[in-house]
A and B are shown apart, each in its own frame.
Chain A
Amino acid sequence: MTMALHDATRVPGSIPASAGIGLRAQHQSELRNSKPAVGWLEAHSENYFSEAGPHIEALLQLREHYGLSLHGVGLSLGSIDPIDHAHLMKLKRLIGRASPAFVSEHLSWGSVDGRFVNDLLPLPYTQESLAHMVSRVDQVQSALQRTILIENISSYLQYSHSDIDESAFLTELARATGCGLLIDINNLYVNERNHGVGARRFIDSIPPAVVREMHLAGHSSNRVDQSEILIDTHSAPVCEAVWALYGHAIQRFGALPTLIEWDSDIPSLDVLLGEAHKAQSYLGAAHDLAA
């Protein structure tokens, strides 16, 4: 199992089509010391914007050993505010320092009039939003001089004036801008439970060629009055239903770099690696089938 993590087929950009884990401050030291067999690491871009300090130093050192993806949460791509040029330049500088294989952001917004909620809020899926997102992704890709990946988000509300399927919205965004897609399987599951949006139908309607990466995570279940709502907390193991959906996504998209995200109530590195090994077994089965 552990050998397969490093022997896995490499996709363009030097990240193997294997399971990776999110780089979190709690694990930096252990990762640097023990360098466990895991396919690659994903780092939240904003946590490494600083010129110096223990976090950026750890990232650059780990970068020598692992493939890297930078995952942004703060660019507020869908906002009607102008793109924060300083933020974008910090990202560009980080990309220059860390040479990530992938740079990703979200199909979301989180700021307006200069105020931020630092969360991923959903856009209405309309022609107005699509044109806006196309323009924004174009701006970012032009500034960074590279393509980025856009991730589908989980949401707790839908808009009555949305008139485009989320999958069609993302597909058109990828076609119009040349960006790739990062499909978060847990987010699909959360949205299916919260809104009745068919997760398998979503997967089946996305062209495999534009999908470059997948995310897996845990969520929590909350009750509001008599209704249950799932919250994308990244605070628990991946649930069985999401694993099943992941298997379906692999059948559709093939074996792709897959990240285990765990951002709250962060467990020991061993637990995280255990989840990555489980994802790897799904990817290994896909490799075997392909062979």
Chain B
Amino acid sequence: MISLRDLQRDLLGYALGDAHVGERPWIVTNGLSADQRLRIYRNNAVVGFEKAMQSTFPALVRLGGIDWFNQMARAYQRVNPSRSGDLNDVGGDFPAFLEDQLSGGEYEYFSDVALLEWSYQQCLCESAVLPENLDRLALHLQEDLSQLRFQVAAPTRAIESIYPLFEIWNRNRSDGEQSGAIDLRRTASRVLVIRRIDHVEVREVSAPVFTLLRAFAAGSTVLEAAAAVTETCRDVDFSDALTRILGLGVLVGFKLTAIGE
């Protein structure tokens, strides 16, 4: 008699497409072969996975069409099967998978769209963090500000693309209107995904704002962040970039001490 362990390994391998078709005397045939019966479970595993992926990546479904998307989802499942009893968890490596598949081709921007959609879903499931009233900073203006660091709200994602990512996503999200073609040669895009109290906001920001915010999120001091901006962005108005970041409401605190103090 087959053990429970061996039975489960065999059936799951079949359902995920990596086990061979063959004799399984421990399955009652009763009008249908073991293979025909197991194919029902394989189909369920594939269709359930496809639906979960469609729900997470609606803009990609629109961009590539449902047939292309399902083909990619099935290929992704073969190398990245679900590792969770919660189907909402599947798809985290899909952007990297698409990058591998599509890099250098006409549709390589699909991986950036996938990253934005995954970020959106993750952000949606996190709590908003209220921005701190940074007026308190005024009390410290006479102190040494060389170690001033801003803290960025955790549920904030920053995505940089050489394609007009925000426009592509915005035109193809499920509740958006698709109209007109997008010139993919247009300028690069830097996108923030921000968890607000009652919604997720996706917005495009300038290169200096993006660079500055990413430096803050990495733990850089304001001076270090300013240096990073000056290095990467020409003719930058640092004060303007900082003012814009303050207006985004994503800074949730500050520290005046060196890391570790």
Q: Is the CB of A225 within 8 A of B48?
A: no
Provide the bound-state CA to CA distance between A75 and B86, in Å: 9
With A80-B8, A121-B41 in contact, do A87 and B85 touch (Cβ < 8 Å)? yes
Q: Is the CB of B48 within 8 A of A224?
A: no
Q: Is the CB of B125 within 8 A of A117?
A: no
Q: In whole Å, how far is B234's beta carbon from the nearest beta carbon of chain A?
A: 40
Chain B residue at smallest Cβ distance from A120: B44
A52 an interface residue at 8 Å Cβ cutoff?
A: yes
With A156-B37, A156-B40, A231-B40 in contact, do A115 and B85 touch (Cβ < 8 Å)? no
From A54, A118, A121, contact of B87 by CB (8 A): A118
With A111-B12, A119-B45 in contact, do A161 and B1 touch (Cβ < 8 Å)? yes
Q: Is the CB of A52 within 8 A of B127?
A: yes
Q: Is the CB of A52 within 8 A of B128?
A: yes
A86-106 contact mask (Cβ, 8 Å, vs B): 1 or 0: 010010000000000000000
Chain B residue at smallest Cβ distance from A227: B31
A268 an interface residue at 8 Å Cβ cutoff?
A: no
Chain B residue at smallest Cβ distance from A86: B84
With A112-B8, A118-B48, A160-B26 in contact, do A74 and B85 touch (Cβ < 8 Å)? yes
With A47-B88, A160-B27, A229-B32 in contact, do A116 and B82 touch (Cβ < 8 Å)? yes
With A116-B82, A160-B25 in contact, do A121 and B126 touch (Cβ < 8 Å)? no
Q: Is the CB of B44 within 8 A of A117?
A: yes
Q: Report, as a range, how many residues of chain B touch the other chain.
A: 35 or more
Provide the bound-state CA to CA distance between A64 and B124, in Å: 23
B30 an interface residue at 8 Å Cβ cutoff?
A: yes
Chain B residue at smallest Cβ distance from A81: B8
Q: Is the CB of A79 within 8 A of B8?
A: yes
A226-238 contact mask (Cβ, 8 Å, vs B): 1 or 0: 1101010000000
Provide the bound-state CA to CA distance between A80 and B6, in Å: 10
Provide the bound-state CA to CA distance between A90 and B8, in Å: 25
Q: Is the CB of A128 within 8 A of B41?
A: no
Residues on B with beta carbons closer than 8 Å to the beta carbon of A115:
12, 16, 81-83
Q: Is the CB of B8 within 8 A of A109?
A: yes
Q: In whole Å, how far is A74's beta carbon from the nearest beta carbon of chain B?
A: 3
Residues on B with beta carbons closer than 8 Å to the beta carbon of A117:
12, 15-16, 41, 44-45, 48, 81-82
Q: In whole Å, how far is B52's beta carbon from the nearest beta carbon of chain A?
A: 8
From B1, B27, B40, B49, contact of A118 by CB (8 A): B49
Residues on A with beta carbons closer than 8 Å to the beta carbon of B85:
46, 72-76, 84, 87, 110-111, 116, 118
A113 an interface residue at 8 Å Cβ cutoff?
A: yes
Provide the bound-state CA to CA distance between A142 and B7, in Å: 28
Provide the bound-state CA to CA distance between A11 and B5, in Å: 39
Q: In whole Å, how far is B60's beta carbon from the nearest beta carbon of chain A?
A: 19
B1-31 contact mask (Cβ, 8 Å, vs A): 1 or 0: 1111101110110011000000001111011
Interface residues in A37-58 (C-beta closer than 8 Å to B): 46-47, 49-54
A180 an interface residue at 8 Å Cβ cutoff?
A: no
Q: Is the CB of A118 within 8 A of B82?
A: yes
Residues on B with beta carbons closer than 8 Å to the beta carbon of A176:
none
Q: Is the CB of A116 within 8 A of B31?
A: no
A12 an interface residue at 8 Å Cβ cutoff?
A: no
B34 an interface residue at 8 Å Cβ cutoff?
A: yes
Provide the bound-state CA to CA distance between A35 and B28, in Å: 48
B36 an interface residue at 8 Å Cβ cutoff?
A: yes
Q: In whole Å, how far is B118's beta carbon from the nearest beta carbon of chain A?
A: 14
B38 an interface residue at 8 Å Cβ cutoff?
A: yes
Interface residues in A126-159 (C-beta closer than 8 Å to B): 126, 128-129, 132, 156-159
Q: In whole Å, how far is A76's beta carbon from the nearest beta carbon of chain B?
A: 6
Chain B residue at smallest Cβ distance from A115: B81
A124 an interface residue at 8 Å Cβ cutoff?
A: yes
Residues on A with beta carbons closer than 8 Å to the beta carbon of B36:
224-225
Q: Is the CB of A128 within 8 A of B81?
A: no
A195 an interface residue at 8 Å Cβ cutoff?
A: yes
Provide the bound-state CA to CA distance between A227 and B37, in Å: 11
With A118-B48, A157-B37, A229-B32 in contact, do A80 and B86 touch (Cβ < 8 Å)? no
B interface list, Cβ under 8 A from A: 1-5, 7-9, 11-12, 15-16, 25-28, 30-32, 34, 36-38, 40-41, 44-45, 48-49, 52, 81-88, 124-128, 195
Can you list 13 contacts pairing A with B, beta carbon distance less than 8 Å? Answer: A47-B88, A52-B195, A53-B126, A76-B85, A116-B82, A118-B82, A119-B41, A126-B4, A160-B28, A161-B1, A225-B32, A227-B31, A229-B40
Please name the 4 residue pairs, one residue from A and one from B, whose CB atoms are nearest each other, closest first.
A74-B85, A50-B125, A117-B45, A157-B37
